[in-house]
A and B are shown apart, each in its own frame.
Chain A
Amino acid sequence: DSGVTQTPKHLITATGQRVTLRCSPRSGDLSVYWYQQSLDQGLQFLIQYYNGEERAKGNILERFSAQQFPDLHSELNLSSLELGDSALYFCASSVAPKGDTEAFFGQGTRLTVV
């Protein structure tokens, strides 16, 4: 167990809908990263938050948004869902704002858009 909790584990929804994925980082970690992993693909960086503030953006679509709350949990909102958004979404947390410490991954949320 990495200490990073993601909910839900599985999500099935229809095209055009909106979903929210939740991530609770390890105790003491201030950084949260979101990654998208499509079938047989690598880990695409979406966005990073540190202590409530957006720190960096990667290949995140405009239909997607995220935030980190005062209790440091984070949510990734995906709207106007398309079939191609079906993927495994991971969050990871680390103690530091910089990517020079180990990132611990949650077990992921598998999103299926039908």
Chain B
Amino acid sequence: GENVEQHPSTLSVQEGDSAVIKCTYSDSASNYFPWYKQELGKRPQLIIDIRSNVGEKKDQRIAVTLNKTAKHFSLHITETQPEDSAVYFCAAPQVNTGNQFYFGTGTSLTVIP
């Protein structure tokens, strides 16, 4: 299946600082790249997504950038707050076998007050 690698696996930042999480994918035909946030004991929820026809998308304090040539995309969180603490997953579809989502291994983000 699609190989989605995510780094780092853990990330601690001071409140107010920025956090960046990076993912790479293997299927060059992938065309949709969502990011999910999972709080402890809860379901993953979409926070932002990007399609392959744009290079960047922003929604308030979060942004996602996509480099199709290098096959990587990144999540940027600015002015981090304690409630941003969670596990973040990137995902990419396996295009040639049904486009089901393959998720990265997750990044546990801790925002220190």
Partner of B44, one of A45, A50, A55, A105: A105
Shortest distance in angstroms between A110's beta carbon and chain B's nearest beta carbon? 9
Q: Report the interface size class on chain B.
A: 20 to 34
Is B43 an interface residue, CB under 8 A from the partner? yes
Stretch of B12-20, B58-66, B77-85, B99-107 lying at the A interface: B99-107
Residues of B near A28 (CB, < 8 A) are none
Residues of B near A98 (CB, < 8 A) are 93, 95, 98-99
Contact indicator A56/B45 (Cβ below 8 Å): no
* A7-38 with Cβ < 8 A to chain B: 33, 35
Contact indicator B100/A100 (Cβ below 8 Å): no
Contact indicator A42/B106 (Cβ below 8 Å): yes
Chain A interface residue count, CB cutoff 8 Å, equals 26
Contact indicator A103/B101 (Cβ below 8 Å): yes
Contact indicator A100/B43 (Cβ below 8 Å): no
**Measured between alpha carbons, how far is A107 from B43 in the docked complex, in Å?**
5
Residues of B near A45 (CB, < 8 A) are 1, 100-103
CB 8 Å contact bits of A75-108 with B (1 = contact, 0 = none): 0000000000000001010000111111111111
Contact indicator A102/B34 (Cβ below 8 Å): yes
Closest to B105 in A: A42
Partner of A97, one of B42, B94, B98: B98
Shortest distance in angstroms between B1's beta carbon and chain A's nearest beta carbon? 6
* B16-49 with Cβ < 8 A to chain A: 31-32, 34, 36, 42-46, 49
**Measured between alpha carbons, how far is A106 from B45 in the docked complex, in Å?**
10
21 contacts between A and B (CB under 8 A): A33-B100, A41-B105, A42-B105, A42-B106, A43-B44, A43-B103, A43-B106, A50-B98, A55-B100, A56-B97, A58-B100, A58-B102, A90-B43, A92-B101, A99-B91, A100-B99, A102-B46, A103-B46, A104-B46, A107-B42, A108-B43
Q: Known pairs A48-B100, A97-B98. 13 more at Cβ < 8 A?
A: A2-B43, A42-B106, A43-B44, A45-B1, A45-B100, A45-B102, A55-B100, A56-B94, A58-B100, A90-B43, A99-B91, A99-B93, A100-B99
| A-B pairs with lowest CB-CB distance, top 3 | A99-B93, A56-B98, A98-B99
